[in-house]
Amino acid sequence: MALSSFLILTSLCIVGREALTLSDCGAYARRPEYTDLTVVCGTSAINLAIQICPVVYTGYNESLLILNHIRGNVDCQGTLDTSVAPPLLRFSFPIREGDACGSNFMTTSAPGTGIFSDFSNIQTVNVSGVVGSFDPTIGTVTYNAELKYYYSCAYPLEYLINNTQVDVSGSSIALKDKNGTFISTLSMTLYEDVNYTTPLVIPPLGVELRTNIYVQVVASNLTSQFFVLLDRCYAAISLQPSNSSFFNLFVPCSLDHMTTMLENGDSQKARFYFPAFRFVEQRNETISTYYLHCITRLCESSTCSSFKQCVGRKRRSLETTVFQDGVTRPSLLTRPIRIKAESTLESKEEAQHGGKYNGRGASVGLGIAVAVLTVIGVAAILVAASFHRKLKLLS
């Protein structure tokens, strides 16, 4: 996972001055060093910053540092920034093959390890190039120094999304190996409708069982070269999936029969939905709480279709299982789900006390029946007595 630079120096020679002079540089006028290049591996663009005073000291100026041998393209030229100390020459270009100012793109694949061990093909894309000096000397020989600043940004294309905290690597000094990351572009949101217009607000007592939960994973501010492809999504009882029971909503080449995939690997968003369920081990809890986690792949738009094919891809059992210790997890983003128990509090109490409530109900019913019969008997006696008295009077 490289973010690196390399500076090659040969001889020194002054070839001229332009906007920035040695007197403008003051104490920053010195020989070039390996740490003069700073590289920021962004989510949609790569930004380079080169200390310009050592370049001026060597005999060049900002117009003679060329990105990937491209001249005449304004978008690929450096911009002088004298508002900072030391002054910098800045380059910025998009992470988009064919429009990255001559940068080289190389995608490598390797078997997954750790949390990705179920996947046989984990990709990393490397974007690299060089900012070099242009020597205007005309002739057979030159005495000018050659400056070359090599940059390289490597981005993993597989991420675990299951925590609200997202850690993004900051800028890095050249010559040190660092990681680029797209994790900051990824987010997961729950919705209550199939049109994905109304975010799901989970009530304090939880969502009703069998209520459809609509999930969307989207990449924002990501270079258009990559699409979102969900490799696996699962629910786990604990916030951190380590040592926790989990249930797979889908894995490579296999969907749970209750999960419906709507869009995956076709754009910078993926969508699916599933009916609310609860874990059996939480049967005695009024509210069942678990967390939704998704392993998300970013694939180049032209190659996403190959990852949808099942040939050569590993399968994983849909049975509930347990994570092993020692799993290394990347930055995380949490989506908790609370599910309401099937019965109300009263019916739950009835279930807990069983025959006690049923016996009480039978006794009450029998008492009511006896009371009704008693009232009817008394009424019949009264009617008979009245009728007997009338007969006596008539006779």
What's 226's domain CATH number? 2.60.40.4100
Distance CA 4, CA 15 (A): 29
Asked if 97 and 132 sit in the same domain, the reply is: yes
Q: Angle 355-394/345-353 helices, nearest 10 degrees?
A: 90
Asked if 144 and 243 sit in the same domain, the reply is: no
Q: Report yes or no: 249 and 236 within 8 Å, Cβ to Cβ.
A: no
Asked if 131 and 224 sit in the same domain, the reply is: no
Q: Which pLDDT score is estimated for 272?
A: 95
- Number of separate domains in the chain: 2
- Report if residue 316 sits inside a domain: yes
Average pLDDT of the chain to the nearest whole number: 74
With a cut of 70, list the residues of the chain below it in pLDDT: 1-19, 141-144, 162-179, 240-244, 310-334, 342-395
- Report if residue 102 sits inside a domain: yes
3-state secondary structure 37-103: EEEEECCCEEEEEEEHHHHHHHCCCHHHEEECCCCCCHHHCCEEECCCCCCEEEEEEECCCCCCCCC
Q: Which pLDDT score is estimated for 135?
A: 80
- Report if residue 163 sits inside a domain: no
What's 144's domain CATH number? 2.60.40.3210
> Residue 192 is part of which domain span?
184-347
Give me the percent of the chain exceeding a pLDDT of 90: 22
Q: Decide: residue 219, CB within 10 A, 0-12 exposed, 13-18 middle, 19+ buried.
A: buried
Asked if 141 and 228 sit in the same domain, the reply is: no
Q: Which pLDDT score is estimated for 318?
A: 32
Asked if 116 and 197 sit in the same domain, the reply is: no
Asked if 240 and 202 sit in the same domain, the reply is: yes
Q: Which pLDDT score is estimated for 356?
A: 40
Asked if 210 and 102 sit in the same domain, the reply is: no
Asked if 40 and 98 sit in the same domain, the reply is: yes
Q: Which pLDDT score is estimated for 245?
A: 77
Q: Of 106, 140, 158, which residue constitutes the final position of a domain?
A: 158
Asked if 338 and 195 sit in the same domain, the reply is: yes
Q: Which pLDDT score is estimated for 1?
A: 39
Tell me the three state secondary structure of residue 388: helix
104, containing H or E segment: strand 104-110
pLDDT digits (tens, 9 = 90+) for 202-247: 888 888 888 999 999 998 888 888 899 888 888 888 776 665 678 8
Asked if 39 and 138 sit in the same domain, the reply is: yes
Sorted by sequence, the CB contacts under 8 Å of residue 285 that are 6+ apart come out as 341
Q: Which pLDDT score is estimated for 101?
A: 94
Q: Which pLDDT score is estimated for 330?
A: 32
